Amino acid sequence: MPGYYTVVAGTAVSLLSFVGLYMLLNGTGEQFNVGQLLLEISPYAWALTGMGLCIGLSVVGAAWGIFITGSALLGAAVKAPRIQSRNLISIIFCEVVAIYGIIMAIVYSSKLNYVPADAVYTTENIFTGYALFWGGLTVGICNLLCGLAVGVTGSSAALADAQDPQLFVKILVVEIFGSVLGLFGLIVGLLATGKAGDFK
């Protein structure tokens, strides 16, 4: 039996195909123009959506990581109360992921300036809007996955530390490597928007 996501994806593709064929066969196929739709959306909307995704996905990644790490830490602390203080570093690593997203959104917001409505759709502004959207999406997804990676390794660090205190430092090294993934996303986000100018 197909899974839930397979059914949803299949239904969406079937619906889009049906609508596209209906429009094509009724002589209105030129209205089904994705390129025109992408150009008609304001570059400000692309930029602000990218900034929103940057912050939103980063915060979700941090919250998810804190949830995974925190629940394992509290459970393991019942057996070994000594692990509470030093395993809080895993929570800090998760929180740094959200800070990366906020920093990048602030950097992206510096490119936003007031532009009159008749001058918004220039080539430079469209490029800046797309660059901020894809940069924000890249940073957000990297931070989401980074938060999950740090959460799972932080959970493992808490459980291993409860069993054997010598394992904590070894697993902490793995957790640091997982945390660096968010930093890589931040760097890629900066590179993606490096040549995008301010809105003007």
Residue 99 has which token pair?
């800070």
Q: What is the pLDDT of residues 100-158, one digit of tens each?
A: 999 999 999 999 888 888 888 888 988 999 999 999 999 999 999 999 999 999 998 88
Of the pLDDT bands very low, low, confident and very high (cuts 50, 70, 90), residue 162 is confident
Residue 58 has which token pair?
């980063």
Nearest-10 crossing angle of helices 43-79, 88-109: 170
Nearest in space to 159 (alpha carbons), one of 76, 51, 55, 66: 76
- Would you say the C-alpha torsion 42, 47, 52, 57 has a positive or negative sign? positive
* Cα–Cα distance, 142 to 69 (Å, whole number): 19
Q: Which amino acid is at 171?
A: I
At 114 the pLDDT is 87
For residue 58, is pLDDT > 90? Answer: yes
At 191 the pLDDT is 93
CA 116 to each of CA 18, 141, 147, 178: distance values in angstroms, whole numbers, following the listed order? 39, 32, 39, 44
Residues 6+ positions from 18 with CB-CB distance below 8 Å: none
Whole-prediction pTM value? 0.83
Q: Which amino acid is at 66?
A: I
At 79 the pLDDT is 83
DSSP 3-state assignment of 43?
Answer: helix
Nearest in space to 87 (alpha carbons), one of 187, 162, 164, 199: 162
Per mean pLDDT, which range of 47-51, 143-147, 165-169 is the poorest? 165-169
Mean residue pLDDT of the chain comes to 89
